Chains A and B, each alone.
Chain A
Amino acid sequence: MSATTPSTTERLLNPWVRRVFGAAALASLVALVVVGLFVAPPDAVQGDAQRIMYVHVPAAWIAYVAFGVTSITSLLYLWPRTRSLVWDRIAGASAELGVVFTGLTLVLGSIWGRPVWGVWWAWDARLVTTAVLFFLYVGYLALRRVPAATDVRAKRSAIAALIAFVDVPIVHFSVTWWRTLHQQGTVFNEKLDAEIHGTMALALWLGVLAFTVLYVYLLDLRYRLEALDEDRETRELDAAIADRVRGAVGVTS
């Protein structure tokens, strides 16, 4: 039997809640731009370049949250008692968001690095780990693209996601070990999370809030898209079964 009846869980948020989230996302992003670019003071050492932190850190945070959600929902799908396609849809949607936000994190970090470190990229442990994370889930998304029956794809993807999840600490550990063996030049001492307080802290938290709300909103949108897609496939399947029963379709097996 199919794992879930699509019609009962076509969305994660009810329409009013979704609108509230959408409005809140927009409002907090606007507030973030205002506070981050104009209200918060420039950093004493890095100058205005430090402002990018107000989006870079939240992006990284959401990336980790998104992949965490993918991992948990993948586990929930594989566990027979909680198996439901709802988890699979969330896993896929969240992974997409995770990849986008990880890519954003890398690009923003690179843009920050150019004026502050003088280079577009550095082989710092965190950057490398983030890059590997990016590719781990790009692979996951490629796997989800392979045409297959919904439950086959769900099982395969869930297993792949859990392998990636288990691998992340190993990657983090090995990369950090590796990079601490090498002396880093003083130019890289300007860390991304320098001491911050006052309006700067406000801007950062505003960023985290805005991105979290945005993530939930986008997750719901993407989920609904996936649910609609699967619903269409189920209806096409029911029609095909009915056709076959009537003998209207004759296809070579």
Chain B
Amino acid sequence: MSPVVRLRSVVCLLGRFPALAGVDLDVEAGEVVLLSGGNGAGKTTLLRVVAGLVPVHQGAAEVLGTDLTRDRRGHRSRLALVGQEAAAYDDLTVLENVRFAARTTGRSDADADTVVGELGLTPLADVRHGRLSTGQRRRLGLAVGLVRRPELLLLDEPHAGLDVPGRAFLDGVLASASDSGTAVLIASHELDLVRPVADREVVLTNGRTLPGDDPTVDPAGEPGVVR
């Protein structure tokens, strides 16, 4: 079965800076892959490249069957990117934001209401995004992403700032990935929380992945140590 994500020697630029300088990556359906690495290693950029938001400067990139060097828009509705900030408008309420996300991907308002409930956001349904706490915003970010029912879920530091109910929900999502067939690529510093549920780990150092797809990580803990 062809992988959901397949990157080979990918180089990409942020302005003039080579944020990624040679990345190899495979993610299969139903797999949870942990992307680890220090600050500035390029984890966020890598997720954005996979989402098609950042162009590929060099290398080969295929995501959800689409060659990103030719078309980086076609696959977007089949994935979700949940980053540090939610794709939400400050003046709209929780429910309105999730419903907007649902409508733009052809889902129903009922789907939106369900996801809001699953994330425990129903009591906050009528609160504007601008008034939410950080933890609540992170939960909303997850809701906005998941209402799309993506085949590929890209998570950027999802545990950071996430409150307890949110974490419980997130664990559920990660645990059920293989059942639902969703591929998950999760960039995270919270190695203790994610390693137990991850199928594989890829370490990113200075914009490069370590050679080989299944690197051995120093059990002492600090990834991103320069070889």
Residues in chain B near residue A253, CB distance under 8 A: 14, 19, 39-45
Complex: A211 Cα to B19 Cα, angstroms: 47
A-B residue pair count with CB separations less than 8 angstroms: 50
Residue of B nearest to A233 (CB): B16
**A198 within 8 Å of B (CB atoms):** no
Known contacts A245-B21, A245-B22, A253-B45; is-contact A149 B207 (Cβ 8 Å): no
Closest to A151 in B: B55
The interface residues of chain B lying within 8 Å CB-to-CB of A240 are 16-18
Assign chain B's interface to a size class.
20 to 34
Is A185's CB within 8 Å of the partner chain B? Answer: no
B97 part of interface (Cβ distance < 8 Å): no
In the complex the two chains form, what is the Cα distance from A236 to B13 in whole Å?
Answer: 13
A250 contacts B by Cβ under 8 Å: yes
* A244-B58 contact, Cβ under 8 Å, with A149-B13, A252-B40: no
Contact of A237 among B16, B41, B69 (CB under 8 A): B16
Q: Are B13 and A237 in contact (CB under 8 A)?
A: yes
Cβ–Cβ contact A245 & B208, under 8 A = yes
Give the chain A neighbours of B58 by CB distance below 8 A.
Answer: 1
> In this assembly, does A247 line the interface, its C-beta being within 8 Å of a C-beta of chain B?
yes
B182: CB under 8 A from chain A?
no
- Interface residue from A1, A148, A244 paired with B21 (Cβ < 8 Å): A244
Q: Is A241 an interface residue (CB 8 A)?
A: yes
Q: State the Cβ distance, B177 to closest chain A Cβ, in Å.
A: 26
What residues on B are CB-neighbors of A148 within 8 Å?
Answer: 15
Contacts of B15 in A (CB 8 A): 147-149
Q: Which residues of B contact A237 (CB under 8 A)?
A: 13, 16, 18
Q: Identify the A interface with B (CB < 8 A).
A: 1-2, 147-149, 233, 236-237, 240-241, 244-245, 247, 249-253
Q: Report 8 cross-chain contacts, Cβ distance below 8 Å, ordered by A residue.
A: A148-B15, A149-B13, A237-B13, A240-B18, A244-B207, A251-B40, A252-B39, A253-B14
Question: Top 7 nearest A-B pairs by Cβ distance?
Answer: A244-B21, A241-B18, A252-B40, A247-B206, A245-B21, A253-B40, A247-B226
